[in-house]
Amino acid sequence: MIIPKLHYIAEGDSPKAILENIQKACTSGAELVRLGMENASEKKVLKISKEAIKITTHYQTRLIISGFYKVAKEIKADGVYLEKTDSCPTLVRKHLFSWQSIGGSANTLADCEALLDKEIDYINLGPFKSDVTNNDLSPALGIKGYTAITDVLKTPKPILGFGGITLEDVPDLLKAEISGIAVSKAITQDFDSIKTFNKLLNASSTLEQRHTFE
């Protein structure tokens, strides 16, 4: 299963704004969009997801649903992304189609190892920078934190960075053997940046395997 290197986490103040941003991301060349709606009901997420997948399917962009794995299965999304507080990946795997991917969130080496035991397809490791506006109170890892984990964690599964990542951060993240990134704000502020992110990540679909650096 090939996991794109750039994940756009769709955001917006309203369902309409979220869907507009998904549309903009798709027209700007996003390979994968993640739909996460904090504090929304499953019914509401299902409604928005049905609209979102019409857009992403048209552009052949992958759609990942945060948390609501039953919604992901119902609309046949490409996969589901699980925060630490969501259901266990092993349990979720039993409910999904075999081709659907599962990503998990980690902040420490122990988190990563626990996720790898649960057969996830990729790990989002972070946050890279601390974000006061986010409810995530996990300590920011920075480049040193990432390097400390990737030096020890030898896995073919992609490790993606997240948390306040901008274009300037990408070269250092790649040196830390982070294989991809999940970005929200930097892309929402400038959808044209998707092309630059892809270029920096060398994110053509043929090169989506984890890089080893000499």
Query: pTM for this structure?
Result: 0.91
Whole-number pLDDT of residue 214:
39
Give 85's Cβ-side CA count (13 Å radius). Answer: 4
Whole-number pLDDT of residue 211:
44
**What is the chain's alpha carbon radius of gyration, rounded to the nearest angstrom?**
16
Whole-number pLDDT of residue 133:
53
- Could you tell me the pLDDT band of residue 210, with boundaries at 50, 70 and 90? very low
- Could you tell me the pLDDT band of residue 207, with boundaries at 50, 70 and 90? very low
pLDDT greater than 50 at residue 209: no
184's CB contacts (< 8 A; 6+ apart) are: 8, 9, 10, 11
Measured in degrees and rounded to the nearest 5, phi and psi for residue 80 equal -135, 150
For 126-163, the pLDDT digits (tens) are: 999 986 555 557 889 999 999 999 999 989 999 999 99
Q: Which residue's structure tokens are 């997801």? A: 49
CA distance 60 to 32: 9
pLDDT greater than 50 at residue 71: yes
Q: By percentage, how much of the chain surpasses pLDDT 70?
A: 91
For 96-129, the pLDDT digits (tens) are: 999 999 999 999 999 999 999 998 999 999 999 9
Whole-number pLDDT of residue 159:
97
**Dihedral of the alpha carbons of 115, 206, 176, 110, in degrees to the nearest 10:** 10
3-state secondary structure of 64: strand
pLDDT greater than 90 at residue 35: yes
Q: Are 37 and 66 in contact (CB under 8 A)?
A: yes
Q: Are 58 and 26 in contact (CB under 8 A)?
A: yes
CA distance 29 to 193: 10
